[in-house]
A = this chain, B = another copy of it.
Amino acid sequence: VSRSRPATMADVARLAGVSTATVSRVLSGTRAVDPEMAERVTAAAVRLDYRINLLGRGLRLTSTSTVGLVLPDLRNPFFSTLGQHLARAFADSEVDLLLFSADDSLATELRGVRSFLGRQVDALVLIPVHEERSAEAVALAASSVRTVQLDRRVPGTTASYVGVSNRDGIALVRDHLTAAADLDAQPVTYLGAAPDSSSAHERLDAVRRGFGADLDCLLGDFSAAWGREAAARVLASGATRGTLVCAADVIAAGAVAHLLSAGRRVPEDFRVTGFDGVGAELTHPSLTTVRQPVEAMAEAIRDLVVSEEDASARWFGPTLVVGGTSPA
């Protein structure tokens, strides 16, 4: 492993017997160059194992052809799925997508935004950690570069937004459940997340609107552990049957797992629904859930990022996926 000083354009120019300007033109292909010279330059570049220094390039140009994505937590399968689709959406383009995990911390999120801004990214995609307290990070980003909020948003910012209509998603769940059976016989409990993020907030509002303001709501976080605990609380209250509307698939999966381990039947005793549409194939019974069109959302982000348009908000329509945790 030889770690000698990396070759620069000046080295290549010297070996090829040309100027650095010519090397730059050959390697970037921006301008016509004499074929014979071009040949000499590329040969010299290969021989010296030349690799461009993007710091120098980025410093000289305005653009770095880079987009940063700051997300709250990679372990949340919905976020990692979003990240994966976004990466794929950018795979064919010239721009590199770089990711940074905020580890569910506001301070780390802000650090990630600062880091990307310092690296002169062309655009920033943010899944804000908190509906209100991420305002500083979002505002900072939006004041410097094209910024798009994904899935979650901070109200009052000028940044664009791409997400799903949570109200429509919950309505799909409600219509499905009411069509299939009598909700009075299987009373509804909402297993949600504390309204720290806009998605948790909107889903909570939507279930209150859709199922009645006096709906039983248990609020925790987006995790399977919370799903298990919430289901345990439902059973502890004495319920022997019911309908558990969950704010996320991970919550629903945890809830189902606990119900089954407690000897309850799903969907006979308890019906359960999820939200997001990720990882439905992992469990049995498979989850009835609201699928978000993540691929289309990722492409919308990509288009928004390269466009020159003003900030805009776009809500995608979710679809219902009927699984084995609710009556067919």
Contacts of A311 in B (CB 8 A): 1
Judged by a CB distance under 8 angstroms, whether A53 is at the interface is yes
- The one of B59, B75, B144, B224 that contacts A80, using a Cβ cutoff of 8 Å: B75
Tell me which of A10-18, A84-92, A210-218 binds B. Answer: A84-92
B-facing residues in A58-91 (Cβ within 8 Å): 58-59, 64, 73-75, 77, 80-81, 83-84, 87-88, 91
Judged by a CB distance under 8 angstroms, whether A25 is at the interface is no
Judged by a CB distance under 8 angstroms, whether A27 is at the interface is no
**Are B74 and A96 within 8 A (Cβ)?**
no
Tell me which of A98-106, A175-183, A184-192, A314-322 binds B. Answer: A98-106
Q: How many copies does the complex hold?
A: 2
Q: How far apart are A133's CB and chain B's nearest CB, in angstroms?
A: 18
Contacts of A54 in B (CB 8 A): 115, 118-120
A97–B102 Cα distance when bound, in Å, is: 11
- The one of B1, B51, B81 that contacts A75, using a Cβ cutoff of 8 Å: B81
Judged by a CB distance under 8 angstroms, whether A260 is at the interface is yes
Contact mask for chain A residues 136-169; partner B; CB cutoff 8 A; 1 contact, 0 none: 0000001110000000000000100000000000
Q: How far apart are A317's CB and chain B's nearest CB, in angstroms?
A: 23
Residues of A in contact (CB 8 Å), total: 67
Judged by a CB distance under 8 angstroms, whether A117 is at the interface is yes
A119–B75 Cα distance when bound, in Å, is: 27
Contact A143 B80, CB 8 Å, known A101-B99, A282-B257 = no
Contacts of A29 in B (CB 8 A): none
**Are A55 and B59 within 8 A (Cβ)?**
yes
**Are A91 and B105 within 8 A (Cβ)?**
yes
Tell me which of A33-41, A199-207, A248-256 binds B. Answer: A248-256
Contact A282 B250, CB 8 Å, known A55-B59, A74-B80 = yes
Binding site for B on A (CB under 8 A): 1-3, 6, 49, 51-59, 64, 73-75, 77, 80-81, 83-84, 87-88, 91, 96-101, 103, 105, 108, 111-112, 114-115, 117-120, 142-144, 158, 224-225, 228, 250, 253-254, 256-258, 260-261, 279, 281-286, 311, 324
